[in-house]
């Protein structure tokens, strides 16, 4: 017989109870927390004091939240069981591990469900967003920018959607900064299904974050709402490709409202997917052509230098003729994944040039 999970603490149950009170949204909850400090103190507050701060229906709903509720008890048991698995976390707004960047926004989630490495939520980060129906060049740009910025110590934040988001996550996973996926479902759900393998990799090496209760399905209204978390977790937002009216432009606007930087990659004047980026540039976004354009403004952690013990052998193996990563891995007797980070580091150091088709060439000097 399976053992019953350890019950949640009284304090965490109060956070979960506050989150479920009908009619109490995030702004009302934030106002109450500013007045009383904790959910427990809110529930213990004199009714007349609550009626001064809330509408009558809200005050009544708060009082009823303390009544016995079998559905709420089952909800808490489900969460407790979910938390038994290592790597799963539930962060309340007052938890020291709750990301400071989100505390600064107007409507931070009361609770964050996290899979993986929640420490990434506290580090320097850049959001990378763009079209779900991206061009091949857009996908390449997203992946390469994310990889370079991750190697420079920035965590790449995106939304696990198809297209630019997925490419950004893949690039982020190859660097020290890794990646954070902010999802519009419960943290126990994967959407879209085509990104299932990527989501598992992010949960192992990065972090998946959701403000929605476990089991929440992919509702259309959740995705624009979660965009404020994508921008809120980051120092800035890079828009790679976006059509006019794209959801990525919503994220960019939220970033500006939150005091974050906005960056955009220009594209062809004939491409529909360039329209959104060009509109952002006209409105004052920073034009970027390389990762250095962002790092020069935002900074990051200390860039990772090439492994000095490996550099000479790698350059000798490359010679001065164009060569693929697979061929280099064979010459050196190492795996392509191990080699990839060193190739990018040498490229950032100006010692290598990456040619079309995944071919590398040594820069004479």
pLDDT in tens, 86-95: 999 999 999 9
Give which of 105, 106, 113 is closest to 28, Cα–Cα. Answer: 106
Is residue 224 within 8 Å of residue 196, measured between CB atoms?
no
Q: Domain spans of the chain?
A: 1-84, 118-298, 308-362
Angle of helix 136-151 relative to helix 291-298, nearest 10 degrees? Answer: 40
Q: Tell me, what's the pLDDT at 304?
A: 42
Please indicate whether residue 331 or residue 262 has the higher confidence score (pLDDT). 262
Q: Which residues contact 259 (CB under 8 A, 6 or more apart)?
A: none
Name the helix (H) or strand (E) containing 19.
helix 10-20
Give which of 208, 206, 115, 119 is closest to 160, Cα–Cα. Answer: 208
Please indicate whether residue 46 or residue 356 has the higher confidence score (pLDDT). 46
pLDDT in tens, 158-197: 999 999 999 999 999 998 899 999 999 999 999 999 999 9
User: Would you say residue 338 has pLDDT above 60?
Assistant: no
Q: Tell me, what's the pLDDT at 92?
A: 97
pLDDT in tens, 28-55: 999 999 999 999 999 999 999 999 999 9
Is residue 21 within 8 Å of residue 59, measured between CB atoms?
no
Classify domain 308-362 at the CATH topology level.
Arc Repressor Mutant, subunit A (1.10.10)
Q: Tell me, what's the pLDDT at 237?
A: 97
Q: What is the DSSP string of 300-327?
A: -SPPPPP-HHHHHHHHHHHTTS-EEHHH
User: Would you say residue 302 has pLDDT above 60?
Assistant: no
In this prediction, residue 343 has a pLDDT band, given cuts at 50, 70 and 90, of confident
Give which of 105, 361, 140 is closest to 251, Cα–Cα. Answer: 105
Classify domain 118-298 at the CATH topology level.
Rossmann fold (3.40.50)
CATH node for 1-84: 1.10.150
For residue 1, how far is the Cα from the chain centroid?
38
Is residue 242 within 8 Å of residue 249, measured between CB atoms?
yes
pLDDT in tens, 98-143: 999 999 998 999 999 999 999 999 999 999 999 999 999 999 999 9
How are beta strands 261-264 and 236-239 bridged, if at all?
A: parallel
Give which of 174, 170, 208 is closest to 304, Cα–Cα. Answer: 174
């Amino acid at each position: 017989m399976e053992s019953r999970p350890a019950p949640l603490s009284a304090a965490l149950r109060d956070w979960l109870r506050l989150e479920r009170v009908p009619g109490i949204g995030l702004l009302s909850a934030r106002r109450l927390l500013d007045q009383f400090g904790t959910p427990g103190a809110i529930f213990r507050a004199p009714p007349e004091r609550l009626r001064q701060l809330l509408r009558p229906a809200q005050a009544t709903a708060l009082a009823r939240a303390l009544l016995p509720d079998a559905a709420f008890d089952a909800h808490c048991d489900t969460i407790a069981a979910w938390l038994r698995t290592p790597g799963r976390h539930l962060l309340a707004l007052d938890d020291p591990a709750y990301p400071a960047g989100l505390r600064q926004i107007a409507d931070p989630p009361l609770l964050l469900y996290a899979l993986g490495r929640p420490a990434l939520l506290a580090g320097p980060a850049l959001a990378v967003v763009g079209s779900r129906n991206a061009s091949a060049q857009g996908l390449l740009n997203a992946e390469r920018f994310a990889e370079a910025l991750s190697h420079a110590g920035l965590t790449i934040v995106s939304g696990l959607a198809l297209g630019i988001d997925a490419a950004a996550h893949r690039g982020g996973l190859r660097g020290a900064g890794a990646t954070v996926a902010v999802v519009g479902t419960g943290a126990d759900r994967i959407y879209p299904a085509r990104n299932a393998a990527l989501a598992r990799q992010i949960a192992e090496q990065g972090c998946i974050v959701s403000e929605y209760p476990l089991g929440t399905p992919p509702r259309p209204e959740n995705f624009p709402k979660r965009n404020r978390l994508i921008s809120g977790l980051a120092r800035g937002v890079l828009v790679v490709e976006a059509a006019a009216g794209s959801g990525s432009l919503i994220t960019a606007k939220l970033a500006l409202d939150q005091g974050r930087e906005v960056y955009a990659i220009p594209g062809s004047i004939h491409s529909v997917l360039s329209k959104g980026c060009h509109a952002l540039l006209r409105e004052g976004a920073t034009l970027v052509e390389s990762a250095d354009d962002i790092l020069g403004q935002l900074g990051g952690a200390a860039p990772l230098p090439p492994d000095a013990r490996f550099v000479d052998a790698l350059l000798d193996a490359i010679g001065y003729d164009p060569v693929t990563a697979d061929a280099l891995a064979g010459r050196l007797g190492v795996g392509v994944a191990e080699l990839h980070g060193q190739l990018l580091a040498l490229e950032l150091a100006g010692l290598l040039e990456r040619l079309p088709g995944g071919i590398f060439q040594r820069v004479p000097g």
